[in-house]
Amino acid sequence: MKIIKDAMAGTLESSDVLVKVSPSDGPLEVVVKSEVERQFGEQIRRVVADTLARLTINEGVVIVEDKGALDCTIRARLQAAVLRGGAVEGLDWSILQ
């Protein structure tokens, strides 16, 4: 899947995460900022990387501002932002698990 336009999903409210995606020609750039970076930074990055890999996102810019979201919320917001900004024809639910 390819990101073709700027898009975002989520909020900066507690227990949520704001995800912004933008197209770019270079390799995939992921920026993660989190209020719980020290405790869960590694886990958040793992969830972000896994979710983007399943969506086959290999280029573009992805910015994740976490406010203490659960893994399932991070996945949902990332997927929503990518689907909003991506070239999607028909939704393959298996990659959203």
CA distances from 22 to 16, 68, 70 (A): 20, 23, 24
Write the binding mask 34 to 73 for another protein: x where contact by CB under 8 A, - elsewhere.
-----------------------------------xx-xx
Both tokens of 31, joined, read 């920026």
Tell the smallest beta-carbon distance from residue 4 to another protein (Å): 17
Number of H helices, E strands in the chain: 2, 4
Tell the smallest beta-carbon distance from residue 40 to another protein (Å): 14
Tell the smallest beta-carbon distance from residue 65 to another protein (Å): 14
Write the binding mask 72 to 91 for another protein: x where contact by CB under 8 A, - elsewhere.
xx-xxx-xx--xx------x
**Binding positions for another protein, rule: CB under 8 A:** 9-10, 13-16, 69-70, 72-73, 75-77, 79-80, 83-84, 91, 93, 96
